[in-house]
């Protein structure tokens, strides 16, 4: 099994907020997960969007010291994914629900790779049938399961239905790297690892902790020793 990774999550309001998130995370982690929400696919809007679907120019200079993955929670991930890849994101991934078919996904993910992304993948909403991933798996370095129907902001409650979805996918594709986003904590991480997860986007469990570095290190230890 691959060595597990923890990606502290940023949902930045603007460029200054992203810079502050990066400064905070860099004191204990080399990784950062950035949510990009367009206000259409998700109920909230965050950097680099200024309103529903309206994108401002951006770069990743404020997070260049970190290994960043960008979660495109957007209705049209194609061009913004290329922009993030060019800006230096290690990984870029969109949602299976936003692609018309496997050929659309293949062309898009290949374009992200050409622009510099070292990893590309797909996320899937909690209520989307897991079978929807099938046509896309061979195109991906990893897939990401949302573990709550509430998306776009930190602190949503973990939905244990995701465990069976992850187990099913891991059994079908044992070499596929699986990530989970939402609700990762010391209470849920054991079950997630046992289901087949090796990559964790962690928000409120770290950001709202009295000692974020200690929680990060504890989660990393649990993820690699279960």
Domain ranges of the chain: 5-225
Residue 210 CA to residue 225 CA, distance in Å, equals 24
H helix or E strand, kind and range, residue 54: strand 54-55
Question: Going by DSSP bridges, is the β-strand pair 49-51/54-55 parallel, antiparallel, or unpaired?
Answer: antiparallel
Nearest to 121 by CA among 148, 143, 104: 143
pLDDT the model gives residue 139: 96
In DSSP terms, 10 is beta-bridged to: 34
State the 10-residue block means of pLDDT for the chain, 226 residues long.
Answer: 89 96 97 97 94 93 96 98 98 98 97 98 98 96 94 80 98 97 96 98 95 97 89
The verdict on pTM exceeding 0.85 is yes
pLDDT the model gives residue 153: 65
Nearest to 152 by CA among 69, 57, 71: 71
Helix (H, G, I), strand (E, B) or coil at 221: helix
Q: Which CATH class is domain 5-225?
A: alpha beta
């Amino acid at each position: 099994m691959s060595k597990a990774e923890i990606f502290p999550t940023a949902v930045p309001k603007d460029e200054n907020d992203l810079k502050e998130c990066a400064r905070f995370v860099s004191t204990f982690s080399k990784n950062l997960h950035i949510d990009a929400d367009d206000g259409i696919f998700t109920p909230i809007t965050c950097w680099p969007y200024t309103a529903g679907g309206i994108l401002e120019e951006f770069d990743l200079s404020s997070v260049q010291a970190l290994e960043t993955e960008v979660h495109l929670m957007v209705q049209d991930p194609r061009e913004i994914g290329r922009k993030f890849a060019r800006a230096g994101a290690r990984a870029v991934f969109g949602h299976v629900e936003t692609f018309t078919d496997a050929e659309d996904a293949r062309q898009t993910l290949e374009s992200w790779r050409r622009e510099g992304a070292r990893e590309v993948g797909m996320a899937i909403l909690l209520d989307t049938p897991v079978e929807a991933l099938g046509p896309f798996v061979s195109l991906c370095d990893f897939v990401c399961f949302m573990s709550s129907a509430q998306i776009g902001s930190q602190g949503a409650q973990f939905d244990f239905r995701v465990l069976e979805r992850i187990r099913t996918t891991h059994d079908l594709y044992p070499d596929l790297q699986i990530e989970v986003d939402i609700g990762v904590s010391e209470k849920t991480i054991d079950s997630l690892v046992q289901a087949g997860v090796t990559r964790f986007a962690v928000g409120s469990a770290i950001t709202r902790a009295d000692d974020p570095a200690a929680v990060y290190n504890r989660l990393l230890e649990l993820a690699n020793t279960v």
